Structure 1
Amino acid sequence: MSNVEAASEAVWCEVPVESPKGVQVLPAREVPMGGPRALQVRRTLPQRARTLIGAWCFADHYGPVDVPAIGGMDLPPHPHTGLQTVSWLFSGDIEHRDSLGTHAPIRPGELNLMTGGRGIAHSEVSTDDTTVLHGVQLWVALPEADREAARDFQHHAPEPVRIDGAELRVFLGSLAGETSPVRTFTPLLGAQVDVEPHTAVTLSVDPGFEHGLLVDAGDVLLDDTTIRPAELGYVASGVETLTLTNRSDGPARTILLGGPPFEEEIVMWWNFIARDHDEIVRARQDWEAASERFGSVEGYAGRRLPAPALPDVVIAPRRNPPRRADRARS
């Protein structure tokens, strides 16, 4: 997915709420995202209060969208550097094309992971037979040693697993005895967790990971804290279990993300992740010049997406706030 905001580097959001047990509630903001009638998405990462959860650095949540009435997704070829894109759908179908030559569907319950590395381009278009479009688009920052990795594309359809009144689909990392075969450059967790009505499930998690729970549907307690639909609940590293309680009369659907704290500062602008302003400038210049750095996307019926104008200031690194243990020592 492309970030098509004209000025995405300066964002001021609501102050998040932190519960007594340390669960931080990160609200979403609505952003128009391409399409003839501008598909609206709800963005929880990045924001002022938190840039990353592990290496997860971008989280867009959209739908359910009535495609015939509102319009679907039509994102022209656009570039990425320094990241991996993670596409995960609840309903609908999207056609993916990239400069590796990949032409692949994105379907509900199936992971598509694309590695940008030094540079890749892709397009995403909802299919003609899609009536309801609903899902998430996530980005993962690549670490310094791998951020110019070769372009790559991986697909995985995880089998659903039932435990204690919940159904899990583990698309990255390991959870509840299930491990995804998909390769990543830092340890990560990504899973859809659906919880039955009026049911609680306790999950054993890696204490070295920090976690984020994005709620799609349902009234969900993350430990002691209510996370409402479109909100993201954050839990710092150091916990060994997470309890999800669905207080709703219907099923709850969530996306659980995790990874060890990502200690590198990143510079993030438009669709590029870098380490300083000058790298961003060069990436933009290369895209506008149709450089071979990004390659070309074949089969998209239209023009590629132009880069927005750069801001008149030096783009500063994005930093997470200090962890609670660090704040206690200061």
Structure 2
Amino acid sequence: MIRLFLLLALVVAAGGNSFSQVKRTRDAFLMGGRFDITIVAKDSLTAEQYIDTVIAEISRIEYLISDWKPETQVSRVNQNAGIRPVKVDQEVLELTERALKISEITNGAFDISFAAMEKIWKFDGTMTTMPSPEAVKKARQKVGYKNIIINKESSTIFLRLPGMKIGFGALGEGYAADKCRAMMLARGITAGLINATGDIQAWGKQPNGRPWRIGINDPFKSNDLVGAIAVNGAITTSGSYEKYALIDGKRYTHIINPATGYPATGLTSVTITGPDTEMANAFSTSIMVLGKDAGLKLLQNFPEYKAFMITDAGKYITSPGFNMEKINR
């Protein structure tokens, strides 16, 4: 999975606080990106303490699954690709297992072994020429979720091919957000919001009793919104307009189609709402690859998740039940 914080969701805060609870927000650089953590609690000290707890939990997860830190379990899996299985914690094994199930239901549109393509595609502004077809073909040979072997009995992960690499990217951020929501609810924090570099998990309501409202960016007009939506759950967006390579005047999204090795086309952004950030993120990425028709068909099997898509031509497409307050462009 490629990182998916391209469409930055805007938290629209409601004013006024006539209730006994308070809201505190802090940002932190975690898992390679910015997290904004908001906790609603009985007083400021309690809220700040629970923000500390959330940051500690996200950091713990980061040191399990981040593929850019060489000491993590996932990095050790990558370092031993084609060599031997690597023992991992049950938590990492289960996250990998869920990722593989998503690959199956999306026919490979979602694939955590995409990371091998990072060697030839750069989306940090430095890439100015297309990779050669030979380089794309060679890198794509290392991509394929069916070559990720899980052994539940020994709690190991093995990448069958030398040079393979897995990366959870924003799926891991979504997982962290979901874990922290569950942790906070278990500790009596009935309202909060975690913005994991644009992928959001919100629960409960603001201190004034109003819902959390999230703005959806207009991909064709910087700093404009196409709409807003009240959220109690997850909202994630995958997009092709903030992290990309500009080559010969054409913009190439960072979201790679695993079947071709080239950037996905057809959709400029996909926003998904639903109960879990991890799953919403997987769907938003997958649908960018699958396209609008196959994406809508996929979501028919998962009615808790709704989609709002914007095509490369600027057309809006919504799945049944996606209720957005439109904002004129």
- Report the TM-score, using the length of structure 1 for normalisation: 0.28
- Report the TM-score, using the length of structure 2 for normalisation: 0.28
Determine which structure has greater relative contact order: mean sequence separation of CA pairs < 8 Å that are 6+ residues apart, divided by chain length: 2
Q: Which has the higher strand share?
A: 1
Q: Which has the higher helix share?
A: 2
